[in-house]
Copies of this chain bind each other. A is one copy, B any other.
Amino acid sequence: MTAASRYTYLGPEGTFTEAALRTLPEAATRELVPMISVPAALDAVRSGEAAGALVPIENSVEGGVTATVDELASGRPLMIYREVLLPIAFALLVRPGTTINDIKTVTGHPVAQPQVRGWLERFLPEAHWESAASNADGARLVQEGRFDAAFAGEFAAPTYGLEPLVTDIHDAHNATTRFVLVGRPARPAAPTGADKTSMVLWLRDDHPGALLEVLQEYATCGVNLVRIESRPTGRGIGQYSFSVDCEGHVSDRRVGEALMGLKRLCSDLRFLGSYPRYDQVEPRVVAGTADADFLRASDWLTRCLDGRLNESDGRAGG
């Protein structure tokens, strides 16, 4: 297979990321390559070795997946083309024959730990937790005998010769992880009417109210935010960038207008793509912010500039 038909993902095999990737129809015809880390998965796209990469970006319990958020904000530009939401429930995987009373040590991805902490306190209060590089890697360590049990997706069991002792473990109801399919910058997919636009912005300086101005820019254009996450810029405590998802598609006039306003307002702005919302929720369009309103306003301004104002302009006040 060629690079054009290769997708990387945060591996190893048997992770939730692989499960999420396999929900995409085109995954059936792609070569799916597990990578050791989010940066590795994304770098394969940057270098042209892969056409896309599926990586987790947000978790309803743990928040932003910082490796992904930060990688998308720096380095050679990438773009998001698709999002996938996957409900997260863990299985406790053990070597065949292990009972709950045998379990002295457990492992799993650090992100999994807070999602099963409550369960552990109730059912395995004495068990010693040690983090693994991934949930699947935890399963491998159980296979090797280094730990007694691993939290992972139930689907990972066969790969490592384990069996699920307990399934559907999750402290929080509705625990969900959001994954994004990332590629090199290109023309965004056509708008579907229920789209999301992602970006990263850096405030011009740290004057009080800089973030307020940014939010005002969205509000003025009638663009609703669906996610805002502050990230340190690495330049010292108190210096942040903001990773933002908003409703709508870059080709919607109100979104384009907001983006241009932010481009002027911020010290920097990185466009990360417009793509269909997984939940297919359509945006609430405030009066005066539909495409037609923007076109009318633009046409009217042209008439003002050309001296072609007529009877029907500014009539309502008559």
User: Can you name the residue of chain B whose Cβ is closest to the Cβ of A235?
Assistant: B174
Per-position 1/0 for A58-91, Cβ under 8 A of B: 1111110011001001111101000001000000
- Is the pair A77, B313 in contact by a Cβ cutoff of 8 Å? yes
Stretch at the interface among A2-10, A11-19, A153-161, A181-189: A181-189
Instruction: Please tell me if A104 contacts chain B, counting CB pairs below 8 Å.
Output: no
> A217 contacts which of B67, B202, B220 (Cβ < 8 Å)?
B220
Q: Please give the distance in Å from A49's CB to the nearest CB on chain B.
A: 17
- Is the pair A317, B219 in contact by a Cβ cutoff of 8 Å? no
- Is the pair B209, A219 in contact by a Cβ cutoff of 8 Å? yes
How far apart sit A294 and B259, CA to CA, in the bound complex (Å)? 11
- Is the pair B314, A77 in contact by a Cβ cutoff of 8 Å? yes
Instruction: Please tell me if A112 contacts chain B, counting CB pairs below 8 Å.
Output: no
How far apart sit A308 and B185, CA to CA, in the bound complex (Å)? 7
Instruction: Please tell me if A265 contacts chain B, counting CB pairs below 8 Å.
Output: yes
Stretch at the interface among A21-29, A94-102, A295-303: A295-303
| With A220-B217, A261-B220 as contacts: A271 and B314 at CB distance below 8 Å | yes
> A260 contacts which of B208, B231, B270, B301 (Cβ < 8 Å)?
B301
Q: Please give the distance in Å from A276's CB to the nearest CB on chain B.
A: 15
Q: Please give the distance in Å from A149's CB to the nearest CB on chain B.
A: 16
- Is the pair A304, B232 in contact by a Cβ cutoff of 8 Å? no
- Is the pair B130, A130 in contact by a Cβ cutoff of 8 Å? no
Q: Please give the distance in Å from A147's CB to the nearest CB on chain B.
A: 13
Q: Please give the distance in Å from A33's CB to the nearest CB on chain B.
A: 18
How far apart sit A67 and B186, CA to CA, in the bound complex (Å)? 38
Residues from chain B with a CB closer than 8 A to the CB of A187 are: 305-307
Q: Please give the distance in Å from A151's CB to the nearest CB on chain B.
A: 15
Residues from chain B with a CB closer than 8 A to the CB of A131 are: 110, 131-133
- Is the pair A289, B307 in contact by a Cβ cutoff of 8 Å? no
Q: Please give the distance in Å from A120's CB to the nearest CB on chain B.
A: 11
Q: Please give the distance in Å from A268's CB to the nearest CB on chain B.
A: 4
- Is the pair A228, B230 in contact by a Cβ cutoff of 8 Å? yes
- Is the pair A174, B59 in contact by a Cβ cutoff of 8 Å? no
The 7 A-B pairs at the shortest CB distance, nearest first, are namely A270-B314, A268-B316, A187-B307, A186-B307, A208-B224, A264-B288, A260-B297
22 cross-chain CB contacts under 8 A: A59-B232, A63-B232, A66-B114, A77-B309, A77-B313, A79-B309, A173-B235, A204-B288, A209-B215, A211-B215, A212-B219, A216-B216, A216-B220, A228-B240, A256-B305, A259-B301, A259-B304, A265-B288, A268-B314, A268-B316, A270-B314, A271-B304
